[in-house]
Structure 1
Amino acid sequence: MGTVTAADPHTSFLADKDAKVFVAGHRGLVGSAVVRRLLSLGFTSVVVRTHAELDLTRQADVEAFFAAERPRYVVLAAAKVGGIHANSTFPADFIAANLQIQTNVVDAALRSGSVRKLLFLGSSCIYPKFAPQPITEGALLSGPLEPTNEWYAVAKIAGIKMCQAYRIQHGLDAVSAMPTNLYGPHDNFHPENSHVLPALIRRFHEAKACDAPEVVVWGSGSPLREFLHVDDLADAVIFLMDQYSGLEHVNVGSGSEVAIKELAELVKEVVGFQGKLVWDSSKPDGTPRKLMDSSKIQGMGWKPKIALKEGLVETYKCTPVADADNIINAQPDPALSSRETDSVPAKCECGRENSPTGARAGFFPPETASGSGGGIRTLASLGPAPGTGGAVQWRRGAGDCPHQEKEPVAVAAAAGGARRQGEAGARR
């Protein structure tokens, strides 16, 4: 087992901007936000790897990567995630993949001897289904979990405990952050696997695009939920890397609640849908309240900056809105279960259009286009998008939207079939 060299107590993370920082999961909602924040702060050596370049579930490959790159800091944002259906259908995949990723990265960080600090990102699903509100860090393991995502939750709890164990036994400065419900650029807008906010954005956008008279949403709209913009989380990650070295995990939330009914009305306003919002009270509401107690991190001096409406406006502006038919007719891929899957951007309404080649967004699951060597993704197999003659492809150029990744990652879209009917769902 490697030896951990204690960091210079006078050198903070923010004062060490030339050091290598490995961000695992840089294509996901959280990882991409962390990378953006690091670069904006002037970090000069942010190390990333795609899944094709480094499979984090393969121990030997992860150890070889750490031995070769020798990063000084690690942000572990990589995970296999999915909705209720995916968790129920593939429980072994969810628990095994996440345990493998966490174990391999944390252990390799120790063995390399180069890592001064590691931050592990979890989820609010680690807490018991009926935890007292607001949920404190001390509620962990105090009751049974929500059954619909217990496989993922158990893996994340194991990640927290692994960081604690490696700190206690080996002196590895590993900390854990548990964010609340997140939203923002690079979110997953898939019709089957998205969370409540992107699901609502997609539903209202589809309705607006086809002049639908109404949008139906499940439940009464009375449950209360907490949301945090992913850029605020990225700021909290940097804060904890710089300021926190404790044993206990840390909640990261906005501290503000909003009723689902109010949220839906706000999304309707932001998207500009002029039709009627209908609540189907015959459908279940879910947990009445879910609020995390973030007094610990706020007591250390961190506070969120982005108000919900402001964040929603920015998120919608950075949502792919190319051809309305593409979005409306996109068919769900039941095999899609990861937020970090390459998907399709088209145009960012913040003012930049993406030129034909590749980028990310969230409406469509990818397939490899024939003859592209894996470099171009398409959904042409689902049927041609109207007026496109087949697949519609985009490329992100050097001057494209700053919210898109700088590396060429793939792209394209196509669609076919009837528009999905039904209600906007949520898995948070």
Structure 2
Amino acid sequence: MTVREVNFDGLVGPTHNYSGLAHGNVASMSHEGLVANPREAALQGLEKMKSLMDAGYAQGVLPPQQRPDLGALRELGFAGSDAQVLARAADEAPQVLRAVCSASSMWTANAATVTPSVDAPDGRAHFTPANLQSSFHRYLEPATTGRVLASIFADEARFAHHPVLPATPAFSDEGAANHTRLAGDHGEPGVHLYVYGRQAFGGDGIAPRRYPARQTLEASQAVARQHGLGDAQTVFAQQHPEAIDAGVFHNDVIAVGNGPVLLYHEYAFRDEAGTLDALRERMASPLIPVRVPVEAVSLDDAVASYLFNSQLLSNPDGTMTLVVPGECQEREAVWRCLQDHLLAGHNPISEVVVKDVKQSMRNGGGPACLRLRVALSEAERAALSGRVLLDDALHGELVAWVERHYRDRLAPADLADPALASETLAALDELTGLLRLGSVYPFQR
């Protein structure tokens, strides 16, 4: 059975803008109010997808959400025509308008948590959409995310879909951004590392003081139960509170793993030694930890460069490629660490590829945020519905679609423009046809 990791990247939506909605995300907050370029953002994402596809990696595509979410505005009491609803929201609740226009679904690492069939007791791949309840603009996503995933992974004999966890602080779930599967290779039974920021019930009370901890232990445990994972397959580790307070709002901003390799910062885990010991105890193949000490890369440099929010990709010869954002070249300590500590070190990372995803980075999302990893067998890949696995033809059509429908300038003040809403609906309606997904958006149902 040939199992390959497929990276499903999120297409950047037509309303990509810098509204600074994510408290604790330093990049998002610091770029609030800047003029964004949705067209450039989407094309940067597609270029990254195409380059990885050309290099031999399996690449998929997930569509953006319907934005602005006019249904959410109407639920909040804004009435009238679409134009009237937008105008009133802009006048009375501009932050709410910004939230319902967010293009944050581009970061599909938050879309769901996935367990491959090789690990599940029923032999199916399991999906749980994240509730994203910690922020209103992301709380709006799970319903559409669930429909999209159910449309693509529709074969009930091979794929299982679970309900979103209760949208309460106790079960705050941010998806695969806090989940890493480690194994000798993708076809070997794996160990699932769930990283949480706080405990809702009990615990010792040690938590970040400056920024909120988004993922709860209780949410991670619930997802593992939904997917049928046992104690021998799971490790639950607390994220270091100091890292969260430095702007590490998800674990994938401070650690990345693939196969047997775990690349992590010294301040990734509150109990570093205990976490590594638990992984070693459970893994069938030896764990290969690659530790970056704070003396080499400070927390500030890690957050500014998104070194650890890079894609770690497995190669057939056993080596690994690290896909980093261009910002890593701009920080001397980070670039030196990549050359002297990682590439020259005794580990499988043999290549560093730099990608320009600056439009996404300014909102706080690097290469790893932009993709949801799904390990699939050859039969499972053949069973996918829709047209979501990237090839040259689909890439060309998507580039043309972006160039037809996307603006090259969008400021927060433009979000009240009713023409933007109409443009977005027309674009998404065409996109579902290109991807053969059916009616996944509220306006299509």
TM-score between the two structures when normalised by the length of structure 2: 0.30
Q: Greater share of strand residues, 1 or 2? A: 2
Normalising by structure 1, report the TM-score.
Answer: 0.31
Q: Which has the higher contact order (CA 8 A, sep 6+)?
A: 2
